[in-house]
């Protein structure tokens, strides 16, 4: 675990009951919710360090024109 990464604790409102399920996506949603509330993983995502290897982030940058050359 990287000691430099900490989770920003900003609560803007009441936390809801979870993600909305579409069919059998409850299994995927439960995994996502567990990972989201795991502090080291949440800190890693908030730090932005995943963006260099994350295909989803890279595709979003390309589609919005935010990719740097």
Sketch the domain layout of the chain as residue ranges: 1-69
Higher pLDDT, 50 or 11: 50
Q: Are 20 and 52 in contact (CB under 8 A)?
A: no
Please report the pLDDT score of residue 69 as a whole number. Answer: 43
Q: What is the pLDDT of residues 18-69, one digit of tens each?
A: 666 777 777 877 888 888 788 888 888 788 877 777 766 655 555 555 544 4
Q: What is the pTM of this model?
A: 0.39
Using the structure block, give the residue that is written with the tokens 């299994």: 27
Please report the pLDDT score of residue 46 as a whole number. Answer: 82
Spatial separation of the C-alpha atoms in residues 69 and 66, rounded to whole Å: 10
């Amino acid at each position: 675990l990287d000691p430099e990464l900490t989770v920003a604790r900003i609560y803007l409102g009441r936390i809801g009951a979870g993600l909305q399920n579409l069919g059998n996506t409850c299994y995927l949603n439960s995994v996502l919710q567990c990972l989201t509330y795991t502090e080291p993983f949440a800190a890693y995502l908030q730090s932005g360090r995943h963006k260099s290897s994350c295909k989803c982030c890279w595709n979003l940058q390309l589609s919005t024109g935010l990719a740097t050359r």
